[in-house]
Structure 1
Amino acid sequence: MRGMRFSLLRRPRRLTLMIPFAYFLVVLITVTFSSVILHRAAWHSAQKQVNEAALQTVSSIETNVHMLVDNVNNYSKIIISDANLQGLLREGNLYANLDIQSRIKRDLHHIMQTFPIIDSIFIFDQSGHGFSLGSQYTPAFIESNVEHAPWYDEAVERNGAYLLRLNGSGVFASEAEGNFVSFIRMIRDLDDTTPLGILVINIPESAFADAYSNLANHNGQQFAILDEQHRLITAKAAEGGQSAVIDHLTKKIIELKQSEFSRQLSGFFPLSFESRSYTVSWKVDDAFGWTFFNVTPNQSLYSENMSLVLRTLVLLVINGVVFYISSFIISRHVLNPIKQLLRAMKSTKSNKLVKLETIPNNEEFGQLFIGYNRMIDQINQLLKRIIDEQNTIRKAELSALQAQIKPHFLYNTLDSITSLAMMGQNDQVIEMLEALGSYYRLSVSKGRELITVEEEISMVRNYLLIQKVRYRDLFDVEYEVDENCLQVPILKLVLQPLVENSLYHGIRNMGSKGTIRISARLADGWLHLSVSDDGVGMTAEQIQQITAMENKGEKSSFGLKGTMERLRIYYNGKNEFIINSEPGKGTTITIRIPAGDENTWRN
């Protein structure tokens, strides 16, 4: 008997039974308790949720309107800072130079095409002259002078800050239907901030309607935007167009001006119309003074309340099925993290270190997954550190090769300078010394690994000037360099090894005078550098040997192979090195590297 009691006490402690049993009790208690109080609390809960959702919707509309006005403000800054407009307004007469006025209108037309919500633009100078530009229907300015506009003094007092007025406060006559909002600001001199004129940008009602056009119109919701004087700017009814509910709302707002409504920035109030009740959510924008409204019929709340009660009753019926299914779901929830971890561990067999993207919510599996991901990160960091160390070693070797060539070239040049000095050719001595100094100054480049194309070309010019003195009748040089690529940064000492290769291995071995051609151009975001000669050329086997990048352990010179390796390391493989050559017809070497994409460079 005691053993049986002990067994019965222990059995519920089994996880496979405790979880379903606990789940059943929680569901049963929750549903029973909810059924008792749901009918009483459902209405208040639904009312609160609808009000909060409506207020969020109103805030979204307000945010969209602010974004719209901010965009217009940014384009107005572009307009008033235009040099042509500033110069014309400084003369005090917009019609002083019709050619400049034509260019200004062309620029404004381009802005209106780029930003189609601008319906029309008006510019007035201090003398009362003005001109306008419209997309379809340009409203007429009916005042004899802009200073007579009711908003002119306020625009001047704001000293450059903008103000908004519905329909331009009546100073425009338009044949187009619908409202528009006038964006008004004073144009100031960019040099001394003195007033130069007035800018008016008219924004059509449809632009503000777009602020809520992407919002779902659930349960017959309606939207409206009123200006600072509670006049309707735009509205969206339940079935499109301006409804009678919106008309009744605007009248109600006028009655509530002196009430609590006008002393708060947001809230809710009931509205009755034609035997129907509505809840109005509103928010006053403190920047413009506009009011944003959301009108929700209360009938939707009754429907949601009844629907919630029915769903609760149905839930009581299906709880039994959920109870049996839940045990399988829980077991699967426990096993899935284990399977996910096993799949990630098996991927290491194919040399892929895969991290676990989803971390389980439970603590045990969460710590296990985090530890596994930390181990993968450490392995990847170790591999990256090894690769970076190897690249650093290779860079050091290449730098050593680069350092080896400079003394050799210097000794030969000094020998040539000595010979010229002994022959009394002082002008050529000075020329070679200047070229040598410029060459080494550019090659050192204050320790920078990157220089501009212009500096690289200058280095090559100085190098060939020195070689021209040594080999006077051996070669000629031609340059084809586009000016638009002169300031593009590249790895230094890229062209010089190629030019040296063309001179020593291409032309000098030919036995007759040759030509070296150097070109640089930009195309599709890539920098194309080319060095060609009409020397002895190379066979396909020789080209293959160079491009194969297999030094087999011997000490390579700082020539083609070294240049190819430097480019591969510094540009992370995002470059091309192309050799075209035929025996007896010369050689052309082309380098393609990303133009100015410093993120691809390892240095």
Structure 2
Amino acid sequence: MTKHRLEIKVILLYFAVILFIIGMYFRTFQFVYMEHEKKIMGEESIATLQTIQTAISTVIKSANDFSKLVLADEVIQKVMNSGDLFGNISEQSALNQRIYAQTQFSDLIESVWFIDSKNQILSIGDQSNDFYSIDSLHDFTWYEPVLLKKGGYELVVTTQEETNSISMIRPYKNLENFEIIGFYSINIKIDALRSTYLNALDQGSEEIVIMDQEDNFICKDGVSILDKGEFARFNHKLNNMTKDSFMEHIKVNGGRYLITGVKIPKEGYTILRILPIDMKRYNTEMLSINIILIIISSVLILIGSVIISRAVTMPIQLMLTHMKQAETGEFYKIHEKSFFKEFTILFEGYNLMIEKIQLLIRQTIEKQKIIRRVELNEMQEQMKPHFLYNTLDAIEALAMLGENKKVCELVQALGDFYRRSVSKGRDMLTVAEEIKIVEDYISIMKIRFSDTFIEQITVDESALNYRLPKLTLQPLVENVFQHGIREKEEIGHIFIGAKMDKTILHIWVMDDGDGIPTHILEHIKSKSQKEEQTSFGLRGTIERMQLIYEERFSYRIENGELTQIHFYVEMKEY
């Protein structure tokens, strides 16, 4: 009896040790796993905020581009140079029409106001116009900061009737002597900023705010989690950090939250996001199944039954076989039934794990596709033709000279070029369509630069139906004019072609111009991000082709008697 009691004590002690180890393992695993998930959650939130940051910077850049157009407008220049916004009714009406025509359907610009040298203010908006006078510009808090910008802009946040607005204020200069003759402001719609993050915001559980350095709210959406004082504390913390982002876990009213933030350094803005940490997302089911397996295995070892041991080892072997297959990337579910209910639960847990792994793989692939799509879209935006303003200037010059026929030809060629470039939203065009775009572009350049060059286009029929990313050839031809033909004093020659060499699509652009400068070629080969405007079209096209085709794309650039650019793409299908 004493022997059996000792055995029982040993068994109970052994069982207690197992339970203690299992409990410690459970707590440790739970803590490590939860911390890892919180880190992943924070990194994903910061990535989302960085995407929002890029979108907001794009909105501000668009407003800045619009302000430059206003500064360069001849009608507005004439009115502002007169020194009196209200001195000439017809000129004021023309100014109103210019601004109203560009703002009434804009999703970005809410209104524009001007201050002339007499401190008279004219406000032009999509809803109504207003005008009044002020005693002194020094009454405005933005006056000194704008002067210190030396022609740049100052973003000012104002609040009227509990509604925020952003004004991009800058001095208005005479373009002949660059003297300041007044001030003007481009008032940005708050909804233009809000639209950059509303799709990523869960209105029922999260909160996103955009703040300036004075702790003013520019935008604020979602549920109210923190008060303004708490936001100001995190705003100061982020602004005082050397890094452009941060994450922190906080407790608010008994709930756990993750707060992340990023800076917009140039504008001095910060974006803060607060989202709840859902403890239920941390799955401990797999850990529980492991605990059951340890307990069952330990009990079976203590019992020492051969039959039960065999019944145990066979399901384990089956599990190990499937796990080995999983290590090689083959994820198969276990469909066999076991005599023991515990192993059935284990198999169900394993099958559930396999399902979640497969789901995670699919989600990862989808995320990569989304990232790739964003990269391609950004690259596509960068590759849009940037000679539009030069062409419009040429149209204006021809019109002033009375060259109506050439004006019509140039407008038609420009329209054909952009119609083909848009291509009904398609990202991939056939070689034949790319050639048509190049022909439209060459037609425009012939009208602009007269007969200063001769082109020769040679395309094999076998290559016509293969597809390339939109606007692949045109930037290469544009590069010819930038670095070759335009600087040549005599008639230049351009050779454009495409052919298939087995499965390789070979396209080329050659010219007998002055060639591409050596430092530009070195810059392209180094893939440096500095000097972004240097040979942007050629470099951007090469980067885009490398992003899409990876190892299937190669290129060759040579300077010699002919400047040669060759692209080679391995084609799998049309």
TM-score by length of 1: 0.44
Computing the radius of gyration from Cα coordinates, the structure with the larger value is 1
TM-score by length of 2: 0.46
